[in-house]
């Protein structure tokens, strides 16, 4: 799909359309509280970027390919796609290869990504069989470079191997991602909630989490929860 059909705007050729969103937030069943009920937009994800990537990105891809080959792993089996966007490189890794790729990126002297800056969860409910994403920003202090790893898993099997033994700094970040998105990091020594109460039901940062809640009082005004506000349609 290279051009939107009946949508508000165009879809670039290098984007993958996974759904069409109607209204500002795509919420259904509670009325349009934004006033943008007529807005129709595609939900897109970045596609595989072609070579050459530019800058040091080609060197990273070639070096990782060579290092994985030395471990008996085919690069194309471990790396689903490479996305170059806004001068950033994201390597989409199949989850069963995540630990070996992270080991390689950390320990190979040509790469030396010594620091993982955290784990970020993302929920794409329309990305079939890939609804939950975990993103890992990596930094090479030795070479002054940064890249990102991303792993996608289905909602019905939200398991990703832990990186805490490779990057200990991911300990609390994996707990937070589990807490808010429900991604289970297999092998984590204490995967428990870190923000929400232990008996909390659901994962609040998922896009299918209910919008309802308690009213908010602010300087004497009482604001209704999102699912009870007026509709503009």
- CA triple 31-11-8, angle to 5 deg: 40
Cα dihedral 7/9/14/20 (nearest 10): -30
Give tens-digit pLDDT for 94-124. 999 999 999 999 999 999 999 999 999 999 9
Confidence of residue 192 (pLDDT cuts 50, 70, 90): very high
Confidence of residue 27 (pLDDT cuts 50, 70, 90): low
* Two tokens, residue 54: 């530019």
How far apart are the C-alpha atoms of 206 and 123, rounded to whole Å? 6
Confidence of residue 29 (pLDDT cuts 50, 70, 90): low
The pLDDT value recorded for residue 107 is 97
Give tens-digit pLDDT for 35-92. 777 788 888 888 899 999 999 999 999 999 999 999 999 999 999 999 999 999 999 9
Give tens-digit pLDDT for 141-190. 999 999 999 999 999 999 999 999 999 999 999 999 999 999 999 999 99
To which residue do tokens 């795509």 refer? Answer: 26
Domains of the chain plus CATH, in order, are: 1-47 (no CATH), 67-186 (3.30.460.80)
How far apart are the C-alpha atoms of 164 and 161, rounded to whole Å? 9
Judge whether 8 and 41 are in contact, CB under 8 Å.
yes
Confidence of residue 213 (pLDDT cuts 50, 70, 90): low
The pLDDT value recorded for residue 150 is 98
Please give the model's pTM, rounded to 2 decimal places: 0.83
């Amino acid at each position: 799909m290279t051009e939107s059909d009946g949508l508000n705007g165009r879809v670039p050729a290098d984007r993958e359309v996974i759904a069409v969103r109607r209204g500002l937030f795509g919420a259904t069943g509670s009325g349009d509280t934004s006033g943008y009920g007529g807005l129709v937009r595609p939900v897109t994800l970045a596609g595989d970027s072609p070579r050459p990537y530019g800058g040091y990105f080609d060197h990273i891809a070639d070096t990782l390919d060579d290092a994985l080959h030395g471990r008996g792993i085919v690069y194309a089996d471990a790396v689903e796609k490479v996305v170059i966007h806004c001068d950033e490189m994201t390597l989409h890794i199949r989850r069963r290869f995540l630990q070996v790729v992270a080991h390689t990126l950390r320990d190979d002297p040509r790469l030396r990504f010594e620091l993982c800056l955290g784990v970020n969860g993302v929920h794409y409910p329309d990305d079939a069989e890939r609804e939950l994403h975990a993103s890992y920003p990596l930094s090479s202090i030795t070479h002054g470079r940064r890249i990102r790893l991303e792993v996608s898993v289905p909602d019905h099997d939200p398991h990703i191997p832990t990186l805490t033994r490779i990057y200990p700094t991911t300990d609390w970040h994996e707990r937070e991602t589990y807490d808010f998105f429900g991604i289970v990091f297999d092998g984590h020594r204490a995967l428990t909630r870190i923000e929400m109460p232990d008996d909390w039901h659901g994962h609040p940062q998922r896009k299918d989490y209910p919008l309802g809640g308690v009213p908010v009082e602010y300087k004497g005004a009482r604001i209704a929860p999102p699912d009870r506000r007026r509709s503009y349609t």
